[in-house]
């Protein structure tokens, strides 16, 4: 299992204290002050405040441009007046050292000692939960993710949904939500009619066991090569039989499904990912038919050339097909039934479909039909789309050309690279522990290689880049973490209950300031459904640390104890951050 700590902690139990993260607490406090001088509501003041581009300009700034419009004065003048009157206050909050106007901004400088101590306490009073908030308290989110199609190998397309879905579920959990992860298998549809045709014609069920997926894929390709009207109609007939519950045909289908799930589970084990529910389209064929009937009766859907369709052209969503002319169900109708069922079962507040962007229209149609059926909760559903993986050459990878990369191959290639790198670094043979570590590094490479890209963008996939121990990669981040752990071991560091509090130098303070951003990043990544924010933060943090570490001597310096504390803080925040995107750290590398 990937690190459980953060996932299993209910924010309510352990995090009452952190209803507001520290930065927010300070912002609220400052808003109260500022509101005495302006007509803006406190909330607006707090949300307008931001971090200046450099710490030389203070820790937080309030822009006066909106006020300038209201008061019809220049922002510069307002900032100056406000800074002066705030500076004169007898009861300035302790955390504020200095208030200064710079251009149209009022800049606040924190007391660095107090701020650093507070951040230290927040990181370690609740280790593993630093960064967690309660914004989603009492809410339930269903996250549909992965959802590969059976009888095919687990390819790179579904890898994205799996990795991003997992990250989202962790991020939502860290925001106080109860999460339900559903894997919705593509296990129903006309393609299985073709497959059964192929199996019956050329196949041998006893051979299925050896290498089921490849065997099935070959048969499917063979059927497609043969395709003519007769094959087509025979295949359709097989699918119709499936829908009618034919025992013999269904028993074949069941075998295909079981073998496929076994294969998929190997991938999920490698990635350390599990689900709360594995369901599939097959569960919704019947209920899908009923919904289509209902839509017909209510005049929402209509017949056209024997099919049942719903015209969404006027909303710019084209025409949705709900039932084929041969009476069999279709993807869209099954999704309608699945959505209704999940709402009933889980009473979710939100439901996310983590699916490729090529299905955008499908989901628009789905949400729109639910609306027409009177399900006002359709607003709680979102399609969280991701882009494609492209080849190194920037070209599309498609299954039909046979150039699709299989997850098994990706894993093997990456894992081999990682183990050969580890072999270079140590003289002894790799033992079980090393191999376990290699597995974690491989995961980190694959997961970070994905999540570090904004999900809607296409990714040029280059395994040699993502596995590198240097640069913008998962293995680099693990290395940075492990190096800190090794430094702390060498210093025989033990985390003090009461930290050493001294005035930080600029370099040290930059690091503390970076730590303090983490809780807000967690909140934002949830609001924007964007795990890449966390990946980016992890890398920025590591860079800041690197810059600190190359410039600040630790061992033997008169600030050794203080700097060791900073290293300890860094590794803890980095660990939490990586954990949120599904990457587990290693203690040695
Ligand atoms: N199995 C589908 C595919 O690979 C993805 C399923 C997406 N989820 C959904 N509820 N339609 O294309």
Per-position pLDDT tens, the chain of length 589: 233 344 443 434 444 445 578 888 899 999 999 998 888 898 899 999 999 999 999 999 999 999 999 899 999 999 999 999 999 988 889 999 999 999 999 999 999 999 999 999 999 986 568 999 989 999 999 999 999 999 999 988 899 999 999 999 999 999 999 999 999 999 999 999 999 999 999 988 888 888 899 999 999 999 999 999 999 999 999 999 999 999 999 999 999 999 999 999 999 999 999 999 999 999 999 999 999 999 999 999 999 999 999 999 999 999 999 999 999 989 999 999 999 999 999 999 999 999 999 999 999 999 999 999 999 999 999 999 999 888 777 777 654 444 467 898 899 999 999 999 999 988 888 999 999 999 999 999 999 999 999 999 998 888 899 999 999 999 999 999 999 999 999 999 999 988 999 999 999 999 999 999 999 999 999 999 999 999 999 999 999 999 999 999 999 999 999 999 999 999 999 999 999 999 999 999 8
Scanning 355-467, the segments in alpha helix (DSSP H) are 360-372, 407-425, 432-451, 463-466
C-beta 335 within 6 A of ligand 1? yes
Q: Of all atoms in ligand 1, which is nearest to the CA of residue 185?
A: 1
C-beta 548 within 6 A of ligand 1? no
Gyration radius (Cα) of the chain, Å: 28
C-beta 580 within 6 A of ligand 1? no
C-beta 186 within 6 A of ligand 1? yes
Task: Tell me which fold the domain 22-125 belongs to.
Answer: Gyrase A; domain 2 (3.30.1360)
The confidence score (pLDDT) of residue 397 equals 64
Task: Kindly indicate whether the domain formed by 407-580 is annotated with CATH number 3.30.460.80.
Answer: no
Question: Where are the domains positioned within the chain?
Answer: 22-125, 140-284+331-386, 407-580
Give, for ligand 1, the residue of 155, 159, 164, 184 to mutate: max count of ligand atoms closer than 8 Å to Cβ.
184
Question: Which residues are 303's β-sheet partners?
Answer: 308
Q: Residue 226: what are its φ and ψ, rounded to 5°?
A: -80, -10
Angle, CA of 528, 461 and 576, to the nearest 5°: 45
Q: Tokens 């499917």 map to which residue?
A: 220
Q: How far is the CA of 283 from the centre of ligand 1 (A)?
A: 14
Q: How far is the CA of 92 from the centre of ligand 1 (A)?
A: 56
Give, for ligand 1, the residue of 157, 355, 360, 367 to mutate: max count of ligand atoms closer than 8 Å to Cβ.
355
Q: Is the Cβ–Cβ distance between 472 and 575 less than 8 Å?
A: no
C-beta 144 within 6 A of ligand 1? yes
C-beta 582 within 6 A of ligand 1? no
Report the top-level CATH class of 140-284+331-386. Answer: alpha beta
Confidence (pTM):
0.93
């Amino acid at each position: 299992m990937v690190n459980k700590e953060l996932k299993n902690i209910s924010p309510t139990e352990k995090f009452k204290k952190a209803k507001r993260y520290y930065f927010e607490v300070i912002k609220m406090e400052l808003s109260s002050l500022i509101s005495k001088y302006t007509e803006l509501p406190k909330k607006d003041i707090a949300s307008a405040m931001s971090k200046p581009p450099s710490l030389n300009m203070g820790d937080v700034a309030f822009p006066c441009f909106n006020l300038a419009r209201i008061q019809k004065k220049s922002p510069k003048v307002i900032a100056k007046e406000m800074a002066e009157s705030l500076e004169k206050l007898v009861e300035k909050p302790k955390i504020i050292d200095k208030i200064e106007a710079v251009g149209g901004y009022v800049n606040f400088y924190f007391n660095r000692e107090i701020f650093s101590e507070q951040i230290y306490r927040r990181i370690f009073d609740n280790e593993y939960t630093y960064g967690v908030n309660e914004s989603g308290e009492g809410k339930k989110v269903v996250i549909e993710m992965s959802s590969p199609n059976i009888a095919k190998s687990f390819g790179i397309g579904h890898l994205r949904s799996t990795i991003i879905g997992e990250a989202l579920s962790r991020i939502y959990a860290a925001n106080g939500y109860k999460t339900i992860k559903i894997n919705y298998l593509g296990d129903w549809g006309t393609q299985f009619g073709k497959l059964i045709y192929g199996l019956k014609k050329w196949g041998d069920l006893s051979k299925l066991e050896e290498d089921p997926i490849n065997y099935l894929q070959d048969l499917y390709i063979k059927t497609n090569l043969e395709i003519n009207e007769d094959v087509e109609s025979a295949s359709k007939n097989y699918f119709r039989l499936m829908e009618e519950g034919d025992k013999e045909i269904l028993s074949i289908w069941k075998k295909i499904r079981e073998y496929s799930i076994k294969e998929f589970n190997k991938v999920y084990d490698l990635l350390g990912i599990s689900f709360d529910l594995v369901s599939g389209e097959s569960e919704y064929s019947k209920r899908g038919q009923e919904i289509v009937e209902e839509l017909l009766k209510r005049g929402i859907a209509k017949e056209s050339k024997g099919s049942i369709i719903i015209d969404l052209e006027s909303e710019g969503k084209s025409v949705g097909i709900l039932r084929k002319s041969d009476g069999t169900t279709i993807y869209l109708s099954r999704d309608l039934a699945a959505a209704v069922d999940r709402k009933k079962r889980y009473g979710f507040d939100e439901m996310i479909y983590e699916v490729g962007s090529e299905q955008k229209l499908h989901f628009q149609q789905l949400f729109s039909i639910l609306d027409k059926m009177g399900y006002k909760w359709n607003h709680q559903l979102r399609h969280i789309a991701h882009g494609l993986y492209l080849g190194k050459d920037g070209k599309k990878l498609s299954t039909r050309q046979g150039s699709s990369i299989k997850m098994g191959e990706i894993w093997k290639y990456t894992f081999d690279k990682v183990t050969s790198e580890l072999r270079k670094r140590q003289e002894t043979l790799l033992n079980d522990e090393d191999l376990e570590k290699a597995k974690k590094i491989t995961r980190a490479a694959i997961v970070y290689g994905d999540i570090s890209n904004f999900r809607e963008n296409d990714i040029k996939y280059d395994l040699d880049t993502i596995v590198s121990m240097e640069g913008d990669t998962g293995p680099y981040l693990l290395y940075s973490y492990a190096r800190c752990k090794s430094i702390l071991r060498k210093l025989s560091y033990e985390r003090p209950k009461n930290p050493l509090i001294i005035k930080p130098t600029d370099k040290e303070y930059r690091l503390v300031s970076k730590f303090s951003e983490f809780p807000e990043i967690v909140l934002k990544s949830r609001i924007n459904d964007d795990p890449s924010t966390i990946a980016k933060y992890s890398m920025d943090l590591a860079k800041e640390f690197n810059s600190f570490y190359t410039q600040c001597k630790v061992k033997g310096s008169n600030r050794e104890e203080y700097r060791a504390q900073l290293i300890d803080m860094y590794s803890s925040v980095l660990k939490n951050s990586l954990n949120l995107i599904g990457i587990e750290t290693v203690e040695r590398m």
